Structure 1
């Protein structure tokens, strides 16, 4: 099922405003369960987690910054 442009845009906004902060809290909490690793390893872990969160939402974020393809053309 393909989502309309407006739906994808609203869903992307919701994911960024609500989902991303929750993901950051969960990621930091999980990493803090273990002894603190060396700073370079901690950086690698957070960088990997920063890339990993967006993979399930790639189709939602694709093209959201572009003009609405379903909108009628404007005469300027």
Structure 2
């Protein structure tokens, strides 16, 4: 079952406002858990984790910034 445009907009807002800060805390905790590696290793881990978070949510964010395709266009 596909999500409607409004549902995808709401879920994207929830993910960005609640999920992202939680993911950032988890990423920083992970890096601190491995005893603060060298700056290069730390940078690689942050870049990898920074790109990895969006993969499961790609279908939710697709087209959210566009106009609602389901809205009626009553311009005459």
TM-score, normalised with respect to structure 1: 0.95
CA distance in 2, matches of 1:9, 1:74: 22
CA distance in 2, matches of 1:15, 1:74: 32
Name the count of aligned residue pairs.
76
RMSD: 1.0
Long gaps (5+) in structure 1:
none
Partner of 2:69: 69
Long gaps (5+) in structure 2:
none
Deviation of the 1:30 alpha carbon: 1.3
Report runs of 4+ in structure 1 exceeding 3 Å deviation: none
Deviation of the 1:47 alpha carbon: 0.6
Partner of 2:59: 59
